[in-house]
Amino acid sequence: MTVGDELTKLNGLREEGVLSEEEFQTQKERILAGQTAAGTRNKDASSKVPNGEKSKSKLPLILGLSIGIPLLALAILLPIMLSGPSADLETTESLGQSVIEVIANNDRQTFREFYLKEEDREWALQNIPKAAKKPERLDKWIAEANAKSLEEWFELREHMEKDGVDPSSLEFNRVVEDDCRERKGVFKCDDITVFAKSNVGEVKFKIDDPIKTGRGWIVGDYLKYKSRKSELHQRADALVIKACACAEDAKCKLDAAMETLKLAKEISAAADKAAAESLAKLRDCK
């Protein structure tokens, strides 16, 4: 076994908790000291052999180092490489902030952390009566959460694109909680609204029925982007309400028709699809 192999094995024992940091350092120094002593002996011996034999005697050491050093580096980096990204789920605010950061960083892998996972299973069995009575139902929830996270990831990004929101421009602003309290030993909320700054102004996301598990707050039902209403969209909504209230008032209808024509031109120039769809509701007025 080469020095690199020994150090790699040693590092693995430390990562598994078999060796403490102090024990690891002691054993590492012993191995390196043994290698140094062996190198000294080889040097003394090489002085007594022909030059050709010297070159041959160094070959195993060179090969050992060329293989051992990369393995040692891999052993040190592997825990970091495998640890993966993480999300702060300690509070509703940190959940909201993590959601915005993950979306802004286009981090689909970490987005999965916001939903029920296999590691939540034990906690759920102990704290959710329905899960304890029917564990197979819990397994179904976990499987569905995996598919749901993927579906909602693409859905919210699609809706942001329609609103002209650049995900990378998102900056966390605040969260607003709705009825967050302990219920039957478990902390839950009706929903959490997460507000963020963006290239088109403030936008918001809704986390429905969030629940605090053993690893922190996660999505209970769904996580969705709530469409931002532009000024034109808001004016269209107001005009529809006004026009539909005209009833048989001829002057009111004429004023609404003139205002509709003007607003329609502005919406067309701005290519505001959401505002156009809102204004189109005028046809439903009776």
Give the pairing type, strands 201-208 and 171-178. Answer: unpaired
Residue by residue, DSSP assigns 83-126 as H------SSHHHHHHHHHHHHHTT-HHHHGGGS--GGGHHHHHH
Counted residue by residue, the chain has a size of 286
- Of the residues 203, 226, 249, the one at which a domain ends: 226
pLDDT at 151: 94
Count of the separate structural domains present in the chain: 3
Banded pLDDT at 33 (limits 50, 70, 90): confident
For the chain, the average pLDDT equals 82
Banded pLDDT at 230 (limits 50, 70, 90): confident
Instruction: Give me the amino acid identity at 48.
Output: K
Average pLDDT of the residues in 47-59: 53
CA atoms in the 13 A half-sphere facing the CB of 172: 18
Banded pLDDT at 48 (limits 50, 70, 90): low
Cα-based distances in Å from 152 to 108, 143, 177, 225, 251: 11, 15, 21, 9, 47
Whole-angstrom distance, CA of residue 124 vs CA of residue 113: 16
Whole-angstrom distance, CA of residue 260 vs CA of residue 282: 9
Whole-angstrom distance, CA of residue 107 vs CA of residue 151: 14
Of 49-53, 75-79, 174-178, 200-204, give the range with the top mean pLDDT. Answer: 174-178
Does residue 217 share a domain with residue 278?
no
Whole-angstrom distance, CA of residue 199 vs CA of residue 214: 36
CATH number at residue 202: 3.10.450
Alpha helices by DSSP H, listed for the chain, are 3-15, 21-46, 51-83, 92-104, 108-111, 121-127, 129-133, 135-162, 231-244, 250-270, 273-279
Average pLDDT of the residues in 31-59: 56
Does residue 136 share a domain with residue 17?
no
Does residue 220 share a domain with residue 98?
yes
Give the pairing type, strands 201-208 and 223-226. Answer: antiparallel
- Of the residues 176, 192, 226, the one at which a domain ends: 226
Does residue 196 share a domain with residue 125?
yes
Average pLDDT of the residues in 4-25: 73
- Domain residues for the domain of 219 are 92-226
Model-level pTM? Answer: 0.55
Largest CA distance in the chain: 117
Whole-angstrom distance, CA of residue 117 vs CA of residue 124: 10
Of 14-18, 215-219, 268-272, give the range with the top mean pLDDT. Answer: 215-219
Does residue 99 share a domain with residue 13?
no
- Read off the pLDDT of residues 123-159 as tens digits, 9 standing for 90 and up: 999 999 988 899 999 999 999 998 999 999 999 999 9
